Amino acid sequence: MIIAIDGPAASGKSTIAREVAKKLNYKYVSTGAMYRAVTYRVLKEKADVHDDVAPAAIAKRFKVTFKKTKEHPTAERVFIDSQDVTDFLFSPRVDSTVSFVAKNPDVRDQLVSQQRQLSKQGDVVMEGRDIGTVVLPQADVKIFLTASAKERARRRKEELEKKGHVCDEQRLKRELIYRDKIDTTRRVSPLTKACGAFLIDTTGKTIEEVIETVMKIVKGA
């Protein structure tokens, strides 16, 4: 079975998809992590994120993979070629830049190809912003998670502070709203609910409640 989970930033996609994959013993793929890995590399090479050519060239030159390591045997890490970039993916700099890289059509072409390849083995839970609409429109189950901007800002603040970053919740809320605008209005693969997708508003819900809801949908598919 192929399960596609989409939704805006900080709606709970990664957490829910990861836990659902664990329960089903499926492979978990975060497409957002792939775009963040490319963004990290773009920033490291000091390329212009607004340029059409440089980010696409980097996405073509470097392959993003997921694998476990001796240091982290229980969770897959994100690699761009041989470098483990997992700990850099949610830095404030990457956070504020990834949307510009992700809306690049050539970057998306490169990564969508990789994502489809990852899904060919089946038994996968893949999450992102265009999984049910573009990457895997044939998915057996499509879920669209959402939450209020206030709730998502609170979650993102907690997430970043656990990683040692000092954050202002109101600034994060403004950034999330701005990112929503970019993601929903971009020309290529805009964020939108796929036809036939189950809509789940996670505002005020616990992780366990959302997982239970998703599992019921999966079992009924």
> In order of start, what are the domains of the chain with their CATH numbers?
2-215 (3.40.50.300)
Quote the pLDDT of residue 120: 92
Residue 137, judged by CB atoms within 10 A of its CB (0-12, 13-18, 19+), counts as middle
pLDDT value of residue 184 = 93
Distance in Å from the first CA to the final CA of the chain: 9
Per-residue pLDDT at 68: 86
User: Do residues 217 and 19 make contact, with C-beta atoms less than 8 angstroms apart?
Assistant: no
Q: Give me the pLDDT at residue 167, please.
A: 86
Residues 6+ apart with CB under 8 A from 164: none
- What was the pLDDT predicted at 162? 86
Q: What global pTM score does this model have?
A: 0.90
Q: Determine the pLDDT at residue 168.
A: 92
CA-based angle 42:44:45, to the nearest 5?
65
pLDDT of residue 95: 86
- Burial level of 114, CB count in 10 A (0-12/13-18/19+)? middle
Encode the chain (221 residues) as per-residue pLDDT tens digits: 999 999 998 999 999 999 999 999 999 999 999 999 999 999 999 999 998 899 999 999 999 999 988 888 878 899 999 999 999 998 889 988 998 999 999 999 999 999 999 999 889 999 999 999 999 999 999 999 999 999 999 998 998 888 888 889 999 999 999 989 989 998 889 999 999 999 999 999 999 999 999 999 999 98
